Amino acid sequence: MEKDRISHHESVHKLYERIKKDGMTNIWDRYEAQGMGGNPDQRCPFCMGGVRCDLCSNGPCRADVEKDKRGVCGITGDGMAMRMMLLRNVMGASTYHYHTEQTMKTLLSITKGNSPFEITETDKLKDFAGRLGIEASGTDKEIAARLCSYVAADFNRSYDEPSKIVEALAPAERKDLWRKLNIFPGGIYGEMMLATSSCLTNVDGYYVSLALKAMRLSIAMAYQSQIVNEYCQDIIYGIPRPHKMRVDLGVLDPDYVNVLPNGHEPFLGFAMVKLARKPEWQEKAKAVGARGLRIIANIETGQEMIQRWEMDDVFYGFTGNWIMQEAILASGCVDLFAADMNCSMPVDPMYAEKYKFKLIPVSQLVAFEGVSERIDYLPEEAEKQAAKLLQMAIDNFKERKGSVKPFTGLPMKEAVVGFSTESILAALGNSLDPLLDAIKKGTIRGVVGLVSCTSLRDNGQDVHSVMVAKELIKRDILVLSLGCGNGAMQVAGLCSPEAKDLAGPGLKSICEALGVPPVLSYGTCTDTGRLGDLLAAVAHALGDVPITDLPVAAAAPEYMEQKATIDAIFALALGLYTYVNPVPPVTKAPNLVKLLIEDCKGVTGGNLNVETDAVKAVEGILSHIEAKRKKLGI
């Protein structure tokens, strides 16, 4: 593939060459091999258009809406495309909620005194309990125990019994609309059942009904899964606050024992950092010839960690997002790769064999062909499990160091990470007024939440995301970055204060006044709910204006997997202008396309834009923002 189809990042280009030289299967070559007719991006046109189905034995079927060619059961192409989208949404919601369940189990173990962790943010605990209507008196553990009981009851509420969490946290105008549309959700488990059952053959084939059920599920997911998860992780591990962090593949030093927690759950990653910071563990590493022991943050587990804890010589830095994975593993610097619930690739065992590192699944969800050794996370055993993982890495060091030539001289830079609603407020003097004044005056035209994965569709890794972000800040639009797209921004230098020089004059002046970059590192994909909560606070501060009237937008320049699809659906339910790239597999479902791009605006206030050109996409976002500014009279 051409260089610009590999990656935005020079470190990845260098290691891609090593991977090729070593004859290893890799994501770039596999992507190209899936192409058709010499075009790496071309796939089956029915699949790309979303109009194929293999759910029953009468199929696989293909549909053509214009010719009224339907599936054997009679479903239209519009129904096929939306049904498959809803099934993706269910997978995304269930995986988000698995993470939330592990967080709540961890918090519950703390209340029982069975955890190496502790409650670190008492004020956040009391504030969140208060918002939910939970009694906030007593000890921290007593309040947390009530919180755990409250959310568990809500998670398990029937789909036809309204969620108390959504009732407590969502803006009033949204709740009224969702009730009117019959998409105010019940408990997350009931909603997943309702959505999945609706997708059975000969049950619900109507694309509008399926789209509304997707929105209903997304609302349950955002408030019950994402917000509960992130706020409870804040309570345990700390509220994200701005600090510097080393990023890019130069953080990997072959002379150290390097342990990489990978995936989306930070529990064992944090436990390993706590142990590795103790002198006895550093001495164990030095005893086998290493200079020391380091924990290197990786992918979304890494994002969860670096947002909350500051770097030192043990918790050393962050590599990047998931498409970098094979490049990271081929560096010859990794001793142990701890794979939790998301973003660990099926080919990782081949890389473990070639580059001599230990590959250990640490979640019940994760399994690799040929890998039998595993340590499934248990909150009560976290310290013992972390110690076992660290010892495995130390024991691996001599073999890896003696048999694999490391790739060195890779770039490393610093990013500012750790922005959250609380830390943004603190930077502004505990009031949103300075930000709102900057928006009212036009110094900042608006705000975009860049919630993205990373993909090879149509561009190299992070190429399109970086282009979109640069075009946004050039137009004085503040960017909050989340997800794997956040890693893209950090490694590309856009979360560094020096990036202010790429911003328009208004945004640059704000960056200089506050000492912040033009792209604020706001967390993981799971922080989408946190972002929605921030927008609700902004709407309230402006006099309870509808969220649909705010000069804001959501952008997913490189969405990839199922979790991203339900994030986009939630953005539409929240009433946001939502930019998504690559084009989702719905293009041969014209009525569904019209619903998402045009008609949705009259339903929830949100609408989808799928422009593939970065400049045109940002012009569309800016046009939307300027229209909202005009409506607000600013």
The backbone torsions φ and ψ at residue 213, rounded to the nearest 5 degrees and listed phi first, read: -65, -35
> Domain 418-632 adopts which CATH fold?
Rossmann fold (3.40.50)
**Helix H or strand E segment including 336:** strand 336-339
The backbone torsions φ and ψ at residue 39, rounded to the nearest 5 degrees and listed phi first, read: -105, 110
Residue 595 to residues 383, 579, 590, 598: CA-CA distances in angstroms?
Answer: 51, 15, 9, 6
As a whole number of Å, the CA-based R_g of the chain is 24
Three-state helix/strand/coil letters over 218-278: HHHHHHHHHHHHHHHHHHHHCCCCCEEEEECHHHCCCCCEEEEEEECCCHHHHHHHHHHCC
Whether 418-632 and 243-403 are alike in CATH topology: the answer is yes
Enumerate residue ranges in the chain where pLDDT < 50. none
The pLDDT of residue 455 is 97
Are 466 and 494 spatial neighbours (Cβ–Cβ below 8 Å)? yes
| Residue of 442, 435, 449, 585 whose CA lies nearest to 88 | 585
Domain residue spans of the chain: 3-62, 77-237, 243-403, 418-632
Q: What is the DSSP letter of 583?
A: P
| Residue of 294, 298, 312 whose CA lies nearest to 249 | 298
The residue count for the chain: 634
The pLDDT of residue 430 is 84
Are 469 and 489 spatial neighbours (Cβ–Cβ below 8 Å)? yes
Provide the strand spans (E) within 284-325.
293-298, 315-318
Q: Is 0.75 topped by the overall pTM?
A: yes
**Helix H or strand E segment including 451:** strand 446-452
Q: Tell which CATH classification among 3.30.499.10, 3.40.50.150, 3.40.50.360, 3.40.50.2030 matches the domain 243-403.
A: 3.40.50.2030
Q: What is the DSSP letter of 584?
A: P
The pLDDT of residue 427 is 83
Strands 552-556 and 577-580: parallel
Mark residue 98 as left, alpha or beta (left: phi above 0; alpha: psi -120 to 50; beta: remaining): alpha
Residue 448 to residues 23, 91, 407, 551, 579: CA-CA distances in angstroms?
Answer: 41, 26, 37, 9, 10
Q: Class of the 77-237 domain?
A: mainly alpha
The pLDDT of residue 62 is 98
Q: What is the DSSP letter of 392?
A: H
Residue 515 to residues 115, 316, 488, 520: CA-CA distances in angstroms?
Answer: 38, 23, 21, 11
| Residue of 389, 324, 387 whose CA lies nearest to 363 | 389
The pLDDT of residue 33 is 97
Measured CA to CA, the distance from residue 365 to residue 519 in angstroms comes to 33
**Helix H or strand E segment including 361:** strand 358-361
The pLDDT of residue 3 is 87
The pLDDT of residue 1 is 82
